[in-house]
Chains A and B, each alone.
Chain A
Amino acid sequence: MFRLFHIKSMLIFTLCFYLFNLAYPQTFPQNKKKLLKIAQSYFDNEQFDRAIPYFLKLDSLEPNKFETNYYIGACYLNSSFNKTKGIPYLEFALKNGESLLPNVIFYDLATLYHLNYQFDEAIQMLNTFIAKAPKSEVLLNKAESLLKNCKNAKQLQATASNIDIIKLDDKINTENSETTPFISADENQLFFTRTNYQNNSGIEFETKKEIYLATKNTNQEYELKKIPISDEQIKANISLAGISPDGETLFFAIGTENNADLYACKLENGKYGSFIKLPDIINSQYSETSISVSPDGRTYYFSSNRPGGYGGKDLYRAILDDKNEWSVIENLGPSINTEYDEDSPFIHPDNLTLYFSSKGHTSIGGYDIFFSKNIDKNEWEYPVNIGFPINTPGDDIGFVITAEGNNAYFASSKNNINYKYDIYKAILHKTIPLTLVKGIIRGGDPPKPIKAKIRVLDKETQQIIKYVYNPNPNTGKYLMIFPPNKNYDMIIEAENYLPQLVNIYIPNQTYFYELYQEIFLKQVKVNKNDTAIGQEIRISNTFYDIYKTDITDSILNVEQQIRQKHVDELLKLVENIISTTDSISIEQIEKTTSKDSINDKNKVIQNRYNKLLDLVETAIEKTDSTTLQLLDANAIYNDVTNKVFFYGTEPNEQKMSKIIIGSDTLYTLPAINTSKPFEIKTPSVISIKPDSINKPIKKQPDFKNCPEEKRRYVYISYIYYKSGQFEIDNKYFNSLKDIIQLVILNPELGIEINGFADPTGNHEKNIELSKKRSLSVAEYLINKQISPRRIIVNGKGEIGNEKEEDLSQMRRTEIKLFEILQKDE
């Protein structure tokens, strides 16, 4: 049997080593017997790495001997590296000497197949092994659990996801073992433990553990700093166990493998303070090695091998109550804990998802990383294996993930055997599909970029969307990144404008979208020199489904490569933006997007247009209406939403809607909805409409029957008369022209015209005169293309009394513009 066991006698071992070292490694004895003797003595001393060259030499001198092949395979299997190199040798040995070799070869080969991701072959070998092995076989249990691993792996393989695994650079990963990565929220700091080994005559011994802080410098490279630990006693047996959510406190496990306790160590003035042992409710006389604290600082998740669990290491939690006393200590239960080991809990900042490592559940080998969602209190969903390519047949442990869930760090033994680990970063591409909104905000007449603040809320959760970058005041350009299939409230606070609330819907999508958004704000004035009576907002959204337009574009397939490059760049850019937690300036983004691709892009665009022009020309030339219809059906129609809000003549906040953003309460103009975006049609679903011209589908407001209390006045203007007259004086024509312009532009406005007379003269005559006055104004408006249905005319007779001095103020017509209040206002 070729397993690794205890070193028998140090003395003999050292002696042998000394003797054979003289011959090692350059010269091989040519004598086969001698060669075999040396090789076998290395082999017997479990110096497999050293035995390999001798066996290989032997194999070259005397090829195709299955025994030699078996030895070589066994050496590789037990070596620290290149285990899977043993596969062909063991295969050869099995093929040529099955009956003469011990059964364990099936198990050994299965182990290697498993490591080499050849799960089908591994399963076959294990089945043979289990069938042939006697009940007393000690490896039977192991074989059965390996069989389970292989079957799990096969199932998971089918669902492998698009995840990039990056091995951190060689400043962090050395030939020693690096484990327990913990990151600060911005990922700029990485803490980890390094276990050092010493190679003593082919056998490696663990020497000491060191705790490091790696900080990213401006070039995004890690710079390493050792966290100094003065106490020699502690130094020997310390490893990193966790980090507090604020990154200010580190947790350490100190002690031997069988009795380690958790300690906290606070960072004060840039230095780490003294070690404070966590309370006895957490630390038992058994071993506690890893810990994770919930974002509210109340729940501590930790691993412990104390008795009373489900077997091996289990996960527990302890909860602090309102009085800051430990109230609950509980095992996380059978959903999480198995008879095998569970370790390295990590509670996600969402306080719902628990990541941990387990050798049980659906592990594909060794520790695998799982996650489980909290259902209620201490109830947990069945853990999900995080799958390929994060989990490997080896150990994968110590998984930590950033708040937005795109980047994760973990330690993996991969093919680095003998439990030496390296630290890897996984990019989960979770945040794609996303919609990238590039926008520009302008205001005034003529439009100019304006200074504004944009905030976006997820309508459902009322959470602030993180990746919203405020407009650059010089260019008006802004940028937002959204998860799709959601409704959002966008709050625009522009200087000199009332806050505006816009509802936007980001459609569900499987691809990466780009949305171009233009926002235009304008103060509505009757006359340029007047004060504003309202505010206009115009939003136009244009969606591009980048993949669909660019990749399947068969006519333009020449450009595919360039366009693909553009998409890739964009995706990378978004990723960069997301991985930078602090806000970045729009100029940088502009630079990044335009730097390399601008020439390519221009060429592509020009090419595209040439094709379009040709296509239309050819279609007309051939009077080919089908092509034109198809082009038309696939055109993206700009979605423009436009709305004017009138302040009203009575200033109040009645029309403003209240919105709460985090700790701010804000009053904005009522929400405007942008319509749902364009849906891409395939030619088979074009619905051809009869020829038609856009007719306003909106029901026209019924101004005439609008009761007075439903009228919301937005503007009032007066015309005054000489005694007894009703003709409009020339001097009013200019202001009337402005009113007409406003009414034409705003179909939701009605006009109320009230004529009045002064109190002199008789009542009948005054009624008559006031009617004539209002009618003459109405007639003027109707002549200037204002529809009569929008005008309400009243003759109100005399007002005031004769004793008042200024009668000229009473001889007047009021022109009042109003909108109809909706039911709910």
Chain B
Amino acid sequence: MRTYTIILFLTLYSIANTLKAQQFTEYELKSAYLFNFAKFIDFPENTFSSARDPFLIGVIGNEAFLDVLQTVIKGKTINGRNIIAINITQTEDIQNCQIVYFSKTTRSQTLMFLEFLNGKPVVSVGDNIEDFCQSGGIINFTQQNSVKRFEINPNAAQRAKLNISSKLLALARIVTDVEVKF
């Protein structure tokens, strides 16, 4: 028992060392998550009409975040596709997006866009938005320092024909609210 504790302590300590004072901003960190969500989620086959289509991330409601996201993902690719982030103000802008990020949106805005996205093969990601997954959103960031960094609604993902990696699911709090109503 004692050995076990020590080993655990050591592992924790070594990680702590490597991460010592590793400071990123909230936006940089969330951008890194968004990029990796793209890697750990499989999209249906017909998602892209041509091989040259870029991977699109749309951002609703927070232009400051968009700026950061664009710098972080600059020059990166997902499965050989360029990755581009754009600003979204109305539902029509979503057309070709694979991920849509909701940040600082109003309740009515959130509901309106989620309603529009329902069943479409688009990953909706909420920035710590109340009842986001319960309202049909797929992924939602939790508060800072939560045990699980984000929550996932697998039912919504299923409806959207998205295949979320078991690794992501293992790291998430699962929201199994099936009574999503519109």
- Interface positions of A (Cβ within 8 A of B): 518, 540, 542, 544-545, 548-549, 552-556, 605-606, 609, 612-613, 615-617, 620-621, 623, 625-638, 680, 682-684, 686-696, 744-745, 785
Contact = CB atoms under 8 A, between A and B. Distances in A.
A108 to B, nearest CB: 54
A616 B36 contact: yes
A248 to B, nearest CB: 51
A630 B39 CA distance: 22
Interface residues of B, number: 52
A576 to B, nearest CB: 27
A612 B72 contact: yes
9 contacts: A548-B21, A554-B17, A612-B28, A612-B72, A638-B27, A689-B145, A693-B128, A694-B128, A696-B130
B19 A635 contact: no
Contacts of A616: 29, 32-33, 35-36
A627 B12 CA distance: 9
Given A606-B75, A692-B143, A693-B143, A627 B149 contact: no
Contacts of A545: 23
Nearest to A684: B16
A549 B21 contact: yes
Contacts of A696: 130
B170 interface: yes
Nearest to B26: A637
B16 A540 contact: no
Contacts, number: 161
A612 B107 contact: no
B19 A683 contact: yes
Nearest to A689: B145
Contacts of A633: 144-145
Contacts of B64: 518, 540, 638
A191 B12 CA distance: 63
Nearest to A745: B106
B150 to A, nearest CB: 9
Contact of A631 (B24, B35, B107, B168): B24
B105 to A, nearest CB: 11
Interface of B: 12, 15-29, 32-33, 35-36, 39-40, 64, 71-72, 74-76, 106-108, 128-132, 140, 142-149, 151, 165, 167-168, 170-171, 173
Contact of B35 (A613, A630, A682): A613
A632 B108 contact: no
Contacts of A745: 106
A612 B171 contact: no
Contacts of B149: 625, 628-629, 632
A177 to B, nearest CB: 51
A713 to B, nearest CB: 24
A629 B106 CA distance: 28
A634 B144 CA distance: 10
B11 to A, nearest CB: 8
Nearest to A609: B72
Contacts of B26: 635-638
Nearest to B19: A630
B31 to A, nearest CB: 8
Nearest to A627: B15
Nearest to A616: B32
Contact of A689 (B19, B140, B146): B146
Nearest to B23: A549
Contacts of A542: 25
Contacts of A621: 167
A613 B142 contact: no
A782 to B, nearest CB: 13
A553 B35 CA distance: 23
A555 B23 contact: no
A203 to B, nearest CB: 64
Nearest to A548: B21
A693 B171 contact: no
B132 A691 contact: no
Contact of A635 (B18, B24, B128): B24
Contact of B167 (A620, A630, A631): A620
A691 B28 contact: no
A642 B163 CA distance: 39
B143 A744 contact: no
A638 B167 CA distance: 29
B108 to A, nearest CB: 5
A689 B25 CA distance: 19
B130 A693 contact: yes
Given A613-B72, A630-B16, A785 B108 contact: yes
Nearest to A637: B26
Nearest to B28: A612
Contacts of B36: 613, 616-617, 620
B65 to A, nearest CB: 9
Contacts of B151: 691, 693
Contact of B20 (A552, A609, A613, A627): A552
B32 A613 contact: yes
B19 A686 contact: no
B146 A688 contact: yes
| Interface core residue of B26, B165, B173 (most chain A CB under 10 Å) | B26
Contact of B76 (A554, A613, A629, A634): A613
B72 A635 contact: no
B21 A634 contact: yes
A683 B17 CA distance: 9
Contacts of B40: 620
Contacts of B146: 688-692
Given A623-B167, A628-B149, A632-B29, 12 more contacts: A553-B22, A554-B20, A625-B171, A628-B171, A630-B15, A632-B144, A634-B21, A635-B24, A635-B29, A687-B145, A688-B146, A693-B128
B19 A609 contact: no
A620 B106 contact: no
A633 B22 CA distance: 10
Contacts of B32: 609, 612-613, 615-616
A632 B140 CA distance: 15
B33 to A, nearest CB: 6
Nearest to B168: A620
A627 B21 CA distance: 13
B16 A683 contact: yes
B35 A693 contact: no
A554 B27 CA distance: 22
Contacts of B131: 693
A553 B75 CA distance: 24
B169 to A, nearest CB: 9
Nearest to A605: B71
A695 to B, nearest CB: 6
Nearest to B165: A620
A695 B148 contact: no
B22 to A, nearest CB: 6
Contacts of A690: 146-147
B23 A680 contact: yes
Contacts of A684: 16
B19 to A, nearest CB: 4
A637 B167 contact: no
Nearest to B40: A620
A684 B149 CA distance: 19
A612 B131 CA distance: 29
A688 to B, nearest CB: 6
B106 to A, nearest CB: 5
